[in-house]
């Protein structure tokens, strides 16, 4: 009696399965979605404080663009974009797909040698911004070229000058030309790294920290709420 139920998921809508049987059951949502009752993002930027360590600097970069991918499907938009982009700028690929898997210890040092990292999500869903941005790109010091939710979703969580969204360009060829220009223009490229002076990345990787956020927000959570159509909310 009085039990409240929380639906929790970090998956994009296509990977959540059939949620219709759960209509009129859950009282709260816990998700990377910013409009969830309990927001648990993959990461965020927090103000840099003394003792946080040095921010990445521009040096030892020799690879124009790189991408780490394990699950490659030719029909995905990100795969088509990669193929088209490769026609105008060299893209070095790592991951299980091409038998060049990187160990956890080698991941960030390898990406740090790249000017740009293809932070291409496997789903273009609202607010779905994963470790591809927070860890792979930002923590390595590479500038992310993002594909996922709309530009406005990225602008809501990250400095506008810290990433390049593929939808800003009329064509993939135009995007490739812009990346080539920035590789050759250190001053303009450095502008994309300016956020590091004020911000650092906080990643959420421990489920205990995520679950404990329920307790810290408990008094502010809605008392009388029920999701009559959870599937509709997830797929909005």
Written as six digits, the tokens of 196 are 């590091």
Catalytic positions are 11
- Tokens (6 digits) for 52: 């946080």
Is it the case that residue 24 has pLDDT exceeding 60?
Answer: yes
Burial of 56 (0-12, 13-18, 19+ CB in 10 A): middle
* CA 12/CA 126 separation, integer angstroms: 9
**Residue 91 has what pLDDT?**
97
Residue 204: how many other CB atoms lie within 10 Å: 17
Distances from the Cα of 202 to the Cαs of 68, 76, 104, 112, 151, in angstroms?
Answer: 21, 29, 18, 18, 21
Size of the chain in residues: 236
**What tokens appear for 137 in the block?**
């790109």
What H or E segment, with its residue span, contains residue 173?
A: helix 172-183
Residue pLDDT, tens place only, 120-144? 999 999 999 999 999 999 999 999 9
- pLDDT of residue 165 exceeding 90, the answer is yes
53 has pLDDT over 70: no
Instruction: Say what the pLDDT of residue 59 is.
Output: 65
Q: What is the pLDDT of residue 56?
A: 60
pLDDT category at 55 given cuts 50, 70, 90 is low
pLDDT grade for 58, boundaries at 50, 70 and 90 = low
The confidence score (pLDDT) of residue 226 equals: 94
Instruction: Yes or no: say if 121 and 150 are a contact pair by the CB < 8 Å rule.
Output: no
Residue 9: the pLDDT is: 95
Bigger pLDDT: 209 vs 32: 32
CA distance linking residue 220 with residue 37, whole number of Å? 10
Location of structure tokens 């220009």? 181
What value, to the nearest 5°, has the Cα angle with vertex 235 and ends 233 and 236?
A: 65
Name the residue with tokens 């797909």. 97
Stretch 72-88: mean pLDDT: 94
Residue 111 CB coordination number (10 Å): 24
Whether residue 20 has pLDDT greater than 90: yes
Give all domains of the chain, ordered by start, each with its CATH number: 6-40+204-234 (no CATH), 63-202 (3.40.50.11660)
Query: Mean pLDDT over all residues of the chain?
Result: 92
């Amino acid at each position: 009696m009085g039990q409240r139920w929380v639906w929790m998921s970090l998956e994009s809508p296509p990977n959540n399965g059939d949620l219709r049987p759960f209509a009129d059951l859950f009282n709260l949502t816990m998700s990377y979605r910013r409009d969830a009752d309990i927001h648990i993002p993959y990461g965020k930027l927090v103000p840099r404080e003394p003792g946080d360590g040095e921010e990445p600097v521009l040096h030892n970069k020799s690879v124009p663009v790189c991408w780490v991918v394990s699950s490659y499907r030719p029909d995905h938009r990100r795969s088509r974009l990669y193929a088209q982009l490769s026609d105008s700028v060299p893209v070095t690929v790592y991951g299980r797909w091409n038998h060049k898997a990187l160990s956890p210890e080698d991941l960030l040092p390898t990406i740090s040698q790249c000017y740009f990292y293809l932070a291409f999500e496997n789903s273009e869903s609202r607010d779905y911004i994963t470790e591809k941005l927070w860890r792979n790109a930002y923590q390595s010091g590479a500038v992310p070229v993002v594909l996922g939710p709309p530009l406005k979703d990225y602008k809501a969580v990250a400095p506008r000058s810290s990433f390049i969204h593929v939808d800003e360009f009329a064509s993939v060829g135009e995007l490739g030309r812009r990346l080539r220009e920035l590789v050759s223009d250190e001053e303009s490229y450095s502008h994309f790294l300016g956020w590091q002076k004020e911000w650092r990345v906080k990643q959420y990787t421990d489920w205990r920290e995520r679950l404990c956020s329920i307790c810290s927000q408990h008094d502010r959570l809605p008392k009388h709420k029920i999701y009559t159509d959870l599937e509709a909310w997830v797929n909005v």
